[in-house]
A and B are shown apart, each in its own frame.
Chain A
Amino acid sequence: MSIMSKRFREGVSKRLTTMLGTYGGSRHAKWLLLAPALLVLVGLLYAPTAFILQESVRVGSHLGLTHYASVVVSGYYRSVALRTLGIGLLVTLLTFALGFPLAYAAVRGGRLLGGAIVVATLAPLSVDLVIRTYGWYILLGQGGPVPKLLVALRVGTVESPPQLLFNTAGIVVGLTHVLLPFMVFPIMTVLHTIPREYEEAARNLGANRLGVFAHVLLPLALPGIAAGMLLVFTNSIAAYVTPAILGGSTQTLATEITSIFTTTNDWGLGSALAVLLVVVAVCIIVGYQRAMEAAGGAIGGTGGER
C-alpha cells in the first residue's frame, strides 16, 4: 500500500518536474519562490529566538546558567510553571471531552445540526479574544449567571458562592472555550473520512456504543485527535489574554514573562522562562511527530517491517 502510493507520488511529481522544468526556468528558480517565506522565518523568528537563547545564558559579559538556576531554585517560578502545565493538560482533556461528541454530532447528525455546529464553533473563533474573554468575565464573575446557577444547584451557598473568576478555574474555562475549535475541526476532518459502515459493521458484530467508540472511532480518528491535542496544548500553555483577564493575580508562564519584560526589564530571567516555554512546546511537537510515525506504521499495516 505505502509502496504503491509512494511510487505513484514519485511518478506524478516526476511528470510535474519535467513539465515545469521545461517551462519553469532554472533549477534554482524554486528557491526563489520560497525566498520571501524563508527570509521572514529566519529574520523574524529563528534569529530573534537565537538571540533570546543567548540572552538566557549570558551573565554580564560571560556565559552562565545563573538565570535558569534562579528559576529552578525559586519555589514561586516552579509553581507558576507547574500551574501552566497543569492548565494545559486540563484544558486539553476538557476540549477533547467536549469536542469529540460535538465533532461526531456535526459529521453524523444530519445537515442542519452539522451546519449549526460548524457555525457555532467557527463564529467565536473570528471574534476578538478580548471580547470573548470579557463574556466569560461577566458569566463567571461574582453575582454572574454561572455562580448563581451553581448555587441554585446546591454547589456552594449564597453566603460563599463558588469562586470562578481570578483563579485557575477561570483560566481553564476561558481557555477551554477559546481552544475548543482547534480540537473540533481536526477531529471532524478525520471523522468525515471514516465510512458509517465501519460503525454499523461493529454494531452488527455485537459491539455497543462504547465499544464502537473505543475500538473503531478512537483508533481511526487518532491522527485528528492528536493534531487537535497538539494545537490545544501548545496554545494553552502560551496563551496570554485569557489568563491576564480571567486569572487576576494568578500567574501563568505567559503573564509572568510579560510582566517581567514590561515592569522589571530583567532580560536574562525573562529569556530563561521563555526558553523553557519553547522547549516544552518543541518537545510536544517532536513527540507528536514520533507518535504519528509510529501510529502510521501500525495503521498502515506494513506488518512487522517497523
Chain B
Amino acid sequence: MFLKQTGKTQPSTDTRLQPWVEKYRPQSIDEVSAQEHTVAVLKKALTSTNLPHMLFYGPPGTGKTSTILALARELFGPQNFRSRILELNASDERGISIVREKIKTFARQTPRRTPEDSAYPCPPYKIVILDEADSMTQDAQGALRRIMETHSRITRFCLVCNYITRIIEPLASRCSKFRFTPLSSSATLSRLEHIAASESIAVSPQAFKALITTSDGDLRRSITYLQSAARLSLSVSSTGARPITPADIQEIAGTVPDPVVLRFLAALGVDPPPGSDDAMDVDGDESAFIKPPRVTGFNGVRDVVKEIMRAGYSTAQLIIQIHDVMIHHPILTSRQKAQCALIFAEADKALNDGGDEELQLLEVGMRVHKALL
C-alpha cells in the first residue's frame, strides 16, 4: 500500500484509513532510516544546491522513493513541489511515447523564478523522478539519453530501480549511482518501535523479532504487516485486548509455521537443528504438528506432502523456509547441502514455469530424502 503521492492526490483522505507506510514516510532527509552514506552525500548536495542526475538502486523497501521525495520536499518546499516535480511510475505508464511526449515537454519548460524570501533553497531546476525505471523498455530508455543531456541545465533526472543491470549503460553512466542496502535489523526495529509507539499499540519483543525476520530488510513490508496485525488485534479486542503474537505475524506474512517445516524435514530425514525448540514453543496451538512421527520412505513423504497441501500452504514459501533451515544446519555435510541447493534451484524454476505445486513439493521431498541417505 505504497501510495505514490505525486502531490496530485488530495491529502484530505482520512488518516485513519491511510496506510502506515504512507503516514510514516520520512518528511525530511534526516528521517530516512539507515543509508547513512547516501544521506550524507545528498545533504551536501542540498547545501550546494547543485545536484547531479541520480540513479538509486537497491532491493524493495529500502527507502529509495522516500529519499528522493524527501529530498525534493526539502529543496522546493510544499508550494513549488508540484510544479517542479514530475513523478512517473513506470509500472503503468511506460513506453517510448510517454518519454517523447510527457517527459520531453516537462523537461523543456524553464522553471519559474522563485521569490527571494522563500525558506527553501529552491534551485533553478526541476526534477523528473522515474520510479521502477527497470521496467521501462530499452527503447524508452534510449529515448531518454539525449533528453537528459540537452535539458540538463534546467532538469535533473532521478531514476529509481531495483536492478541496476536492467538500466542501459549509457543512462547509468550519465548518473551518479547510489546503492541502497537492506536495512539492518536494529534500524528496522527502531522504526517499527517508533510507529508502534505513535499508534499506541502493544507489541511484544518476540513479535518485533518475527516482523523483522519475515520481512528480511524490507521496511515497507514489515510496516504493512504491522498494520495488518494491529488491525486484526484491534478488531478482535472489542471483547478484550489481545497483544500481537509472532504467530499472527507469520500468518499475515503467509509464511509456514515452524512446526510444519520441521515436521516436513523430519519426514525427509533431517533432524531439527538444535536450538529450534524455542521456536516450537511459540506456536503451541498447533499441537498436532509438534510430535513428528518418524515415518520416512516414499509413503512418509507423500503423506506429509498431502497434509501440507490440504492445509493450503504455498510450496514456494515452504521451499524458501526449508532452504533457510538446511543451509544453516550444523549436522549436514557440505556435500549434502550442495546437493539440496541444486534441488531447490530446480524446483524454483519449475514452479516459476507453472509446475504443479504438489508434484514439485513431492519431488523436492523425494530428492532431498535421497540426497541425505
Q: Judge: A and B partners, yes or no.
A: no
Chain A residues in the interface with B (C-beta under 8 A): none
Chain B residues in the interface with A (C-beta under 8 A): none
